[in-house]
Amino acid sequence: MGDAEYMAAFTQVIMPVAYQFNPQLVLVAAGFDAARGDPLGGCRTSPECYGHMTSLLAGLAEGRVVLALEGGYNLTTISYCMTLCAKALLGDPMPPLEAQLVPNKSAVHTINEVISVHSKYWSALCFQVC
């Protein structure tokens, strides 16, 4: 999984539920195990993607977002990921993601299953991913 899959799940599931929940504070266990180059995670999420997800979270709780660095096993990768997350919290513009963000079919299926199960509890989950 990489940027396309993470952004799809984030925008289709996480953010709609987060806005409906309307938290007063957002706490993030900022582990970067899914980042490109992490020896354990085996995923391909870019530091830029982490920055974009953080930018989206900054719209919640009147910007009261706390990131606690807690994981990741590639020092170069986690340093860059955390730098972009900090820039996002400061409101700096994020570098662009890959031009084509098309999640794989497996991810789309899983996201749609999550929406199907959780939509009975969260009315914000009223869309399916194409």
User: Any idea what the Cα angle at residue 18 is, between residues 6 and 8, rounded to 5°?
Assistant: 20
Question: Taking 90 as the threshold, does the pLDDT of residue 101 lie above it?
Answer: no
SS3 assignment, position 111: helix
**Rounded to 5, what percent of the chain is helix, strand, coil?**
50, 15, 40
What is the reported pLDDT for 71?
A: 84
From 50-64, 88-102, 104-118, the region with the lowest mean pLDDT? 88-102
Question: Taking 90 as the threshold, does the pLDDT of residue 98 lie above it?
Answer: no
Q: Cα separation of 130 and 22, whole Å?
A: 27
Do residues 65 and 28 touch, judged by C-beta distance below 8 A?
Answer: yes
Q: Cα separation of 33 and 78, whole Å?
A: 9
> Rounded to two decimals, what is the model's pTM?
0.93
From 24-28, 48-52, 70-74, 108-112, the region with the lowest mean pLDDT? 70-74
What is the reported pLDDT for 129?
A: 61
Q: Cα separation of 7 and 1, whole Å?
A: 10
Q: Cα separation of 21 and 60, whole Å?
A: 10
